Each structure stands twice: as structure tokens, then as C-alpha cells.
Amino acid sequence: MRQRSLIAITAALAAGALTLTACGSRDEDGGGSSDSGNGGTTVVIGVDAPLTGDLSALGLGIKNSVDLAAKTANKEKFVEGVTFKIEALDDQAQPSSGQQNASTLVADKDVLGVVGPLNSSVAESMQRVFNDAKLVQVSPANTGPSLSQGQDWQTSKKRPYESYFRTSTTDAIQGPFAAQYLYNDSKKRKVFVIDDKKTYGAGLAGTFTAEFKKLGGKVVGTEHINPDAKDFSAVATKVKSSGADVVYYGGEYPQAGPLSKQIKAAGSKVPLVGGDGIYDPTFISLAGKGSDGDLATSVGVPLDQLDSAKKFTADYKAAGYKEDFAAYGGYSYDAAWSIIEAVKKVVDANDGKLPDDARAKVVEAMSGVSFDGVTGKVSYDEFGDTTNKQLTVYAVKNGAWEPVKSGTYTG
């Protein structure tokens, strides 16, 4: 009998392990970014993003852009007597790693602000840790509305964490914007909605679906995929037989790319549409040639339309980073810079020295921050959301993302 129970144990182990797909490792090349010859105090800006794994293209862009902001501040001696350093931790897009990283950053007394994370689900696990430590957190990429406006944001907005800020527009605008574009501009009427059940994906699909239905569109099918899976052929077949004329996907490009490819391969030539999570060149390379015509909404307007972004683009190039700054580069730079601005305010108000309760003071100073950043005017509203609410629809044309239409939320 020993053998049979061994099989039973290992089968149980296997079933358990299926849910534990994380494998811990950490990228150590974070810090040491700045010339420490500036003297005086060192202020560390933490970075938390997926630096390895499927989403690393976005994560490394975030890390490099924050690094660039720190270096720029040091070079300009923006805050007299303060040298900025970054400490980048890898969360592998896993909430558990994110929370560990948050604790690590809180424990480092030099950390006065954190940029990140990429994923809304990771942010949920970090917010309380940072809030308890009164450590400011600015996400360049989280779009889940509940992060800043509470679980009941649709009915009564209430800010859950005073230390949480973000430079990206929320899904409360992004989803409906996509719905409006698809219904009115693309004249789509039958949508098949797919999400990955994560905070970001499910939330985005939800706001999209609500608006698309209000406009008179029809949801001909819904599906939730498993983010660990690579085989979506069964889902693709369902899409084909549903007769949908467009697919909306709430999730990120590692799944969206293969999904788009497999949907087209199954013989249904309808565009796949997603949010900022699929707006990355990797999506196109994963989705292959069939992805022409796929759409994505993303936060902000194209960086090449912003004069403020020209300097950023040139500096980023000059700094010689290996990786592209990707979808959130400008937002990450602005997120880091708003922390730098807040530190400057705190230092200036305290006779050029960091006060003892610097963290709490920085959180307070954040709400008053206002400057012309890479992505336009940067300031935060009473929920910690950016006041610059712009969105752009991009389409895949000849293997690259091309802007199609931009919008501003002025409500």
C-alpha cells in the first residue's frame, strides 16, 4: 500500500502546486544608480515592478524611468544636499512578492517614496503596508478604480489609503472609453468579453461591459481564462461560434497575444480589444501577423505629441538603458518626479534638512505637488488620482501600435 498512498500524496501535492506557480527569485541590480558625490543625505526611491517574467518589458521600463528621474534630480542638484538613489525590487506580478517587497522597503529608513507597482492586484497587497508606515506610493500603471476610490467607487467614493497616489487614468474611464469607441466609431454591436479574473482585468472588463450594454450593444458571450494557461483554443472556438464581431479582453499582453493569435487561427477574423495592459510591442510579436486591426486603449496621449516628452525620450536614449521605456515610462518618470518634488518641499520647509517624520511629511506634501511633467501637468486630486485624465485608442497597423483617437476626461 505504500506505493498507492505515495501516488495519492503526490497527486495532492501536484494539485496544490498548480495553485502555487510562483517561484521566488529577486533581481539584485536595483540600487547603486546615482553618483553619491553630492554629499549630504541619501534619499531612496523604491521601485516595485515585475522585472522578470512575462510582464518584465513593462516593469523594466518603469525601473529605468525612475532611475532616470533620480539621476536627473542629482545632476541638477534639484534638492540641495539630497542625493537620490533607487532600490528596485522584483514582484514578478505576484501579490505575495509585492507585499514582501513593500515590507522590505518600509524597513529601509532611507526610503521616502515608492514607485509602483504595475499590477492592480499587487497594489492591493501593498497599500496597507505602505499606509501603516506612512510611506508614499505612486503607481504609474494601476488603473483599478477601487485602489483610490474604495470598493464602492461606483456609488460612493471613499479614499481607502492616504498614502496611495497614481499617475495613470482609471478603468472607470478607460473601459467606457473603449466601449464608446467600439460602438460608435467602429460600429461594433456584438462583443465577446474575456477576462483573466485578476483585479485589473476583471475590473476593466466590467466597466467596459456596463457601458457597452448601456449604449445598446450586445454581449454574446463571456469567458474567464486562466492566466497560467497558454492554450486558449477552446475559448477561441467559443468566440467563433458565438458570432461576435469584436472581442474585448481585460488582462495583460502575455495572455492577450496568444489569445488574439488563437482566435484568428480558429477562423474568426474579429479584432481583439484591450486596455493599457495589452498596449506593448510584445503583444504584437506574440499575436503575430493576424493582430493587424487589434485595438488597445492606453492612458495619456502618445508621447511624441507631447513636447514635454521629447526631453525625456532623448535623455532616456542618452542614458543608454538596454530596455525600452515601454507604455509607462513617462508615467513612471512623473511618479518619481512627484516624489522628488514632495521631498524638496519637505526639505525646503525644514531649513534644508530632512525632518524626523519625513515619510509622513512627504505624504502630506504630495497632494500639493504640481509641475509640468513628461505626460503633461502632474497633480493629484482628493483621491490621489491624477488630474490629467487623457486616453488614447491605439490600433495595430503593419506590426506597430498607431494612435487612432485621443480623449480627455474633463468631468
Partner 1 sequence: MNELPQQLVNGLLLGSMYGLVAIGYTMVYGIVQLINFAHGEIFMTGAFGAITVYLYVLPDGTSMAIALPLMILGAMLVATTVAVGAERFAYRPLRGAPRLAPLITAIGLSLALQQAVWAWYPDARSAIEFPQIDGGPFEIGNVTIQTGDVFLLLAAPLSMAILAYFVMKTRTGRGMQATAQDPDTAKLMGVNTDRIIVVAFALGAIFAAVGGVAYGLKYGQIDFRMGFILGLKAFTAAVLGGIGNIYGAMLGGIVLGIAEALSTAYIADIPGLDQFGSQSWADVWAFVLLILVLLFRPQGLLGERVADRA
Partner 2 sequence: MSGVGPVEPGEGTHVQDAPPAPLPQRGPLAGHFERHRRVVLGALITSAVLAGSGYLYVTRPRPEPPPAPPYPNQVTDIAYLRPGTTSSNTASRGFTFEVEVITESGPPVTVTRISQPYAGLSVTSSPRTPFRTKAGSPRKITVTLRVTECGNVPRNAGLPFLDVTLRNTRAIQVHSFILGPQYAQDLSRALQVACSNKFG
Binding interface with partner 1 (CB under 8 A): 1-4, 6-7, 10-11, 14-15, 17-18, 21, 23, 25, 52-54, 56-57, 196-197, 222-226, 228-235, 237-238, 240-241, 254, 258, 261, 265-267, 282, 285-286, 288
By CB under 8 A, which span of 56-64, 229-237, 300-308, 357-365 interacts with partner 2?
300-308
- Residue 211, interface with partner 2 (CB under 8 A)? yes
Residues 6+ apart with CB under 8 A from 44: 31, 84, 85, 86, 87, 108, 110, 111, 112
Kindly give the residue spans of alpha helices, DSSP state H, lying in 49-94: 56-75
Q: Pick one of 61, 140, 176, 373: the residue that binds partner 2 (CB under 8 A).
A: 176
Q: Which does 303 bind (CB under 5 to 8 A by kind): partner 2, partner 1, none?
A: none
User: Strands 370-373, 376-379: parallel, antiparallel or unpaired by DSSP?
Assistant: antiparallel
Let me know: does 250 contact 272? Beta carbons within 8 Å: no
- Residue 210, interface with partner 2 (CB under 8 A)? yes
Let me know: does 248 contact 296? Beta carbons within 8 Å: no
In three-state secondary structure terms, 8 is helix
Minimum Å distance from CB 410 to partner 2? Answer: 5
Q: Which does 407 bind (CB under 5 to 8 A by kind): partner 2, partner 1, none?
A: partner 2
By CB under 8 A, which span of 145-153, 178-186, 195-203, 233-241 interacts with partner 2?
178-186
Mark 339-378 with x for binding to partner 2 (rule: CB under 8 A) and - for no binding: -------------------------------------x--
Q: How many angstroms from the chain centroid is the CA of residue 50?
A: 10
Q: Pick one of 305, 350, 370, 387: the residue that binds partner 2 (CB under 8 A).
A: 305
Q: Pick one of 21, 36, 184, 370: the residue that binds partner 2 (CB under 8 A).
A: 184
Nearer to partner 2, 59 or 330 (CB): 330
Does residue 236 come out as left (phi exceeding 0), alpha (psi in the -120 to 50 range) or beta?
Answer: alpha
Let me know: does 282 contact 257? Beta carbons within 8 Å: yes
C-alpha closest to that of 407 among 336, 302, 328? 302
Q: Pick one of 52, 53, 150, 215: the residue that binds partner 2 (CB under 8 A).
A: 215
Let me know: does 151 contact 159? Beta carbons within 8 Å: no
C-alpha closest to that of 83 among 140, 48, 113, 45? 45
User: Strands 390-397, 295-299: parallel, antiparallel or unpaired by DSSP?
Assistant: antiparallel
- What CA–CA distance (Å, rounded) separates 379 from 338? 8
Q: Pick one of 270, 306, 378, 396: the residue that binds partner 2 (CB under 8 A).
A: 306
Nearer to partner 1, 206 or 407 (CB): 206
- Residue 288, interface with partner 2 (CB under 8 A)? no
Minimum Å distance from CB 195 to partner 1? Answer: 9
Interface residues with partner 2 (CB under 8 A)?
A: 173, 176-177, 180, 184-185, 210-211, 214-216, 301, 305-307, 376, 405-411
